[in-house]
A = this chain, B = another copy of it.
Amino acid sequence: MKKQSIGVGLMGMGVIGGQVARVLTDEGRHLSEDIGCPVVLRKIKITPANLERPQVKAMDPKLFTTDEDEFFNEPGIDVIVEVIGGERPAFDYLKRAMTTGRSAVTSNKEVIAKRGAELRAISQQNNVNLRYGASVGGGIPLVAPFMFELVANKLSSIHAIVNGTTNFILTRMEKDGMEFGAALKEAQRRGYAESDPRNDIEGIDACYKIAILATLATHKQVRPDDVYHEGISRLTSHDFKYARELGYAIKLLAIAKDENGAVEARVHPVFIPEDSLIASVNDVYNAILVEGDLVGKVLFFGQGAGPLPTSSNVVADVVAEAQDIVAGVGCRSKWIMQTGTAIKPMSDIDSRYYLRLNVADRPGVLAQIARVLGDNNISIASCIQKETDNAAQTAEIVIMTHMAREKAMQKALAELKGLSVMKEIGNFVRVES
């Protein structure tokens, strides 16, 4: 039987939900041209608090319910859109949507990163689709290219700026010479950082996103807990000054690699050459660089957050799902996720390193440092010594190494800390090229 219309149920009416509701309502006619029949927003599950929002008060009250069972029992809902965020109750809602035969669309990175394997299996068992185009990269077409357009490739690496808050902070530190604390305050003042900013600045948000992308790229389950993460709060204006002098930018990168079986996944600040495209991605923008055996390097750039961009990907998922429903397609994605993935321990990764060391300003210090590095098989690529602090009688030494094993570097750092001439390990940052 030909579908007369596609019914949508929306769970969540915060800033993203409000925008999704607006687009589905205002652009319904234009969207229906792509689908071949009207798409109709039938029911919205809302919290009592959001009932007071002006946008909600301007809409038909019969559209809303605060009752979960009433929402799921509403007839004529073909697609359920979850834009609540967080692991629970979103997981239960997505599960209930799919086990009752409805395809699910979500913008929720946390639930996909943490429970994606289960949700994927549920979608396949129930012959419905699970779409999460807005879970990474806001409005950037990204998840769908990983699912579909890059499917012929073996994807070997991802280097991604996927957190706009930290990219804004790092941009202010680089361009305006701000220290971390001031740049964070500026981000909070502009509404880019939350009052409790830990999820962003410690790299946890980026862990969710790289876990999702790495899983899509490899078809192997990469969980957020598998991703090593380090935040940006240890960076200082000194690091930016040296980076500039050495020809680098500093970015918080989410990195995944799949070269010989074990998957490598990590989030931490990185020195990258200033003439690389990703180095020129500033402010709250996101950029994701992917490398595949056929396609070579491909980069996606855009606004990684915000209600408008996010609604772009959410509504696109609704349209794609509506097209599939009109065509009678069930679960489209056939591959089986490999769980129990071998994850390369952080201690086994290879990298180049930047070291900034505060040492006693006296002869022979550099020789001692060089010996520690040499004993650990770490070779020095370049070295800068500057800025003697006459009062404290300390000097700052900056070292760039050649490729070394993380384990060796950690051992060397511990040994450097033990040197009597060592006042402080100012910072150490990995280098990607």
- A293 surroundings in chain B (CB, below 8 A): 308
A139 to chain B: closest residue by CB: B295
A153 to chain B: closest residue by CB: B312
Interface size counted on chain A using CB atoms at 8 A: 56
Selected A-B contacts with CB under 8 Å, 13 pairs = A31-B151, A33-B336, A139-B294, A139-B295, A139-B298, A145-B145, A149-B312, A277-B277, A295-B309, A295-B312, A297-B302, A298-B303, A327-B330
A334 touches B34 (CB 8 A): yes
Q: Pick the 7 closest A-B CB pairs, nearest first.
A: A141-B149, A152-B315, A139-B295, A141-B145, A294-B312, A298-B302, A299-B301
B301 touches A152 (CB 8 A): no
Most B C-beta atoms less than 10 A away, residue of A36, A144, A303, A316: A316
- A336 surroundings in chain B (CB, below 8 A): 33
- A33 surroundings in chain B (CB, below 8 A): 219, 334-336
B144 touches A316 (CB 8 A): no
Interface residues of A in 7-65 (CB under 8 A from B): 23, 27, 31, 33-36
Instruction: Looking at the assembled complex, report how far the CB atom of A301 sits from the nearest CB atom of chain B, in whole angstroms.
Output: 4
A334 touches B35 (CB 8 A): yes
B139 touches A148 (CB 8 A): no
Instruction: Looking at the assembled complex, report how far the CB atom of A89 sits from the nearest CB atom of chain B, in whole angstroms.
Output: 27
Kindly report how many copies of this chain are found in the complex they form together.
2
A33 to chain B: closest residue by CB: B335
Instruction: Looking at the assembled complex, report how far the CB atom of A379 sits from the nearest CB atom of chain B, in whole angstroms.
Output: 31
Contact A316/B152 with A141-B298, A277-B277, A300-B299 known, Cβ cut-off 8 Å: yes
B296 touches A309 (CB 8 A): yes
Q: A394 an interface residue at 8 Å Cβ cutoff?
A: no
B280 touches A313 (CB 8 A): no
User: A36 CA to B127 CA in the complex, in Å?
Assistant: 13
Q: A417 an interface residue at 8 Å Cβ cutoff?
A: no
- A299 surroundings in chain B (CB, below 8 A): 299-302
Interface residues of A in 303-345 (CB under 8 A from B): 303, 308-309, 311-313, 315-316, 319-320, 323-324, 327-330, 332-336
A151 touches B316 (CB 8 A): yes
- A333 surroundings in chain B (CB, below 8 A): 34
- A296 surroundings in chain B (CB, below 8 A): 139, 302-303, 308-309
Instruction: Looking at the assembled complex, report how far the CB atom of A309 sits from the nearest CB atom of chain B, in whole angstroms.
Output: 5
B277 touches A292 (CB 8 A): no
B303 touches A297 (CB 8 A): yes
Interface residues of A in 148-167 (CB under 8 A from B): 148-153
User: A277 CA to B332 CA in the complex, in Å?
Assistant: 36
Q: A133 an interface residue at 8 Å Cβ cutoff?
A: yes
Select A312's contact among B23, B275, B292, B334, beta carbons within 8 Å: B292
